[in-house]
Amino acid sequence: MDKNILEQAQQHFAELVKSQIERSEKMKSALDWIDYSTLKPIIIGFCWGDGIGPIISREAERVLNVVLKDEINNGKVQFRTIEGLTIENRAAHMKAIPDDVLQELKACHVILKAPTTTPEKGGPYPNIESANVAMRRELDLFANVRPVKIPGEGVDWVFFRENTEGAYILGSKGFMAGDDVAFDFKVITRPGAERILRMAFDFARKNGINTVTVVTKANVVKTTDGLFLEMAERVGKEYPGIKWEGWYIDIMTAKLIDPKRRTQFRVLVMPNLYGDILTDEAAEMQGGVGTAGSANIGKRYAMFEAIHGSAPRMVEEGRGKYADPSSLIKAAGMMLNHIGFVDKADKLGKALEICTQFEKKVKITGRDTGVTGREFCDYILETMQSPDLQEKYISFTG
Ligand code: IPM
Ligand code: MG
């Protein structure tokens, strides 16, 4: 056995432990929630991203310009474009988020982010960390909230995915012990588990939902998932009207496609990687990962994004203009809701549901067999602004 490796391992692990204890301590002294109603202006930053990102961003921006017309005119809301979160610029700086870009992000209150390329080993770009993962960590966006609805089948789920720690926090800090043995590390902290669980239980209480489903693999991954479950027990006690249930990720994945069982789930909360996987599965049932939006929420900042990727192939094949902007527009709606424009968000959400799930007057297929993203956005805008939006919505949903 090479003694050097053991020494390196000790040092590597000690550094990780130190950084994670510091992070956990910092969480305990975190600030209070920001109050958007007192802000003027609320600064909304746009990151246009890679691949189809700029194309679908233009449509999302168009929607927001319509929805927030008055607020832009009276100075309540201000838009900012953040250049530089492109794969080319990130690769040039060899950083997930170059320093000046991070500064610009931190000068905003909320961010609408189009998909960014996540490099991988052996790919065309240097294997730097994902911009999503870095932004979630740097801005402490600890909750990833992903609603999934299939109205015809009684499915109405809201996923609360822990968004900064778990398998992700040290995802780029693994350790190769020699040539043959690879380690990665998973970290769950008590304050980290507590804040995401609390958010899920609070959401359930606010919305009159009486069950919370906690997903782990605590029977096998005992220390970290065990702590998550222990915190669920503890936090759950503070919500007497709400019963919580523990499920393991494997059977949960199966039961999401069981029509008899799945309607019982409403609020689901889980560590990072399980949430990553489960929300793709759920979004696919709703009509594809391109149909979902995702809110990354922290106390000071929040970032809203589509959950699909940057689809470079679509652009290479000249199909960029057929990319579906619905997911990013949905994310824009979640952003409106988060910063307090609840009625506007509601209208936009209803228009999106009508266009993507019910009426489907025009179809977007990602190819020239359907309409372009611009045309689809026109359809959404038209539906949102039609005076009989409410009646139309009720006629579909009953
Ligand atoms: C998501 C994505 C990201 C994640 C990737 C792009 C790093 O899959 O938002 O779910 O794994 O969180
Ligand atoms: Mg994912």
Q: How many CB atoms lie within 10 A of CB 51?
A: 23
How far is CA 162 from each of CA 27, 105, 140, 270, rounded to the nearest angstrom?
14, 21, 11, 6
The most distant pair of C-alpha atoms in the chain lies apart, rounded to whole Å, by 75
Q: What letters, b where the CB count within 10 A reaches 16 and e where it falls short, cover 285-312?
A: bbebbbbbbbbbbbeebbbbbbbbbbbb
Bridge partners of 80, per DSSP, are: 45
Distance CA(228)–CA(190), nearest Å, equals 7
All structural domains of the chain: 1-30+146-290 (3.40.718.10), 35-141+298-398 (3.40.718.10)
CA of 52 to the centre of ligand 2 (A): 17
pLDDT of residue 73: 98
Ligand 1 mean position to 304 CA, how many Å?
Answer: 13
Ligand 1, atom 3: closest residue by C-alpha: 132
Residues forming a β-bridge with 81: 46
CA 96 to ligand 1 centroid distance, Å: 14
Length of the chain: 398
Going by alpha carbons, the residue nearest to atom 10 of ligand 1 is 276
Cβ neighbors of 307 (< 8 A, separation 6 or more) are: 146, 279, 280, 283, 289, 292, 293, 294, 327
CA-CA distance, 268 to 204, in Å (whole number)?
A: 10
Mutational test site, ligand 1, from 118, 120, 163, 310, max ligand atoms within 8 Å of CB: 118
What pLDDT shows up at residue 141? 96
Dump the DSSP string for 241-281. T-EEEEEEHHHHHHHTT-TTTGGG--EEEE-HHHHHHHHHH
DSSP track, 63-110? HHHHHTHHHHHTTSEEEEEETT-SHHHHHHHTSSS-HHHHHHHHT-SE
Provide the 10 A C-beta neighbour count for residue 111: 25
Atom 8 (ligand 1) nearest CA: 276
Ligand 2 centroid distance, CA of 388 (Å): 36
The Cα–Cα gap between 229 and 222 comes to 10
Per-residue pLDDT tens digits for 125-170: 988 988 998 999 999 999 999 999 887 899 999 999 999 999 999 9
**Residues in CB range of 294: below 8 A, 6 or more apart:** 144, 145, 146, 279, 304, 305, 306, 307, 331, 334
End-to-end, the C-alpha distance of the chain in Å comes to: 69
| The ligand 1 atom nearest the CA atom of 118 | 6
User: Which among 113, 130, 273, 278 is the best mutation to test ligand 1's pocket, defined by most ligand atoms within 8 Å of the CB?
Assistant: 130
pLDDT of residue 315: 95
In ligand 1, the atom with minimum distance to the C-alpha of 144 is 9
pTM, two decimal places? 0.92
Is 160 in contact with 268 (CB distance < 8 Å)?
A: yes
Q: Which is the closest atom of ligand 1 to the Cα of 136?
A: 12
Q: Which of 97, 132, 144, 280 to mutate to test the pocket of ligand 1 (most atoms within 8 A of CB)?
A: 132
- Series of mean pLDDT values for 10-residue runs along the chain (398 residues): 92 98 90 92 97 96 98 97 95 96 97 93 89 93 93 92 96 95 98 97 96 98 98 98 97 97 97 96 86 90 92 94 94 96 96 92 93 97 96 90
pLDDT at position 120: 85
User: Which residues line the pocket of ligand 1, CB cutoff 6 A?
Assistant: 118, 130, 132-133, 276, 307
Residue 310 is predicted with a pLDDT of 93
Both tokens assigned to 194: 């507590």
Distance from C-alpha of 230 to C-alpha of 190, rounded to nearest angstrom? 9
Relative to the CA of 276, which ligand 1 atom is closest? 10
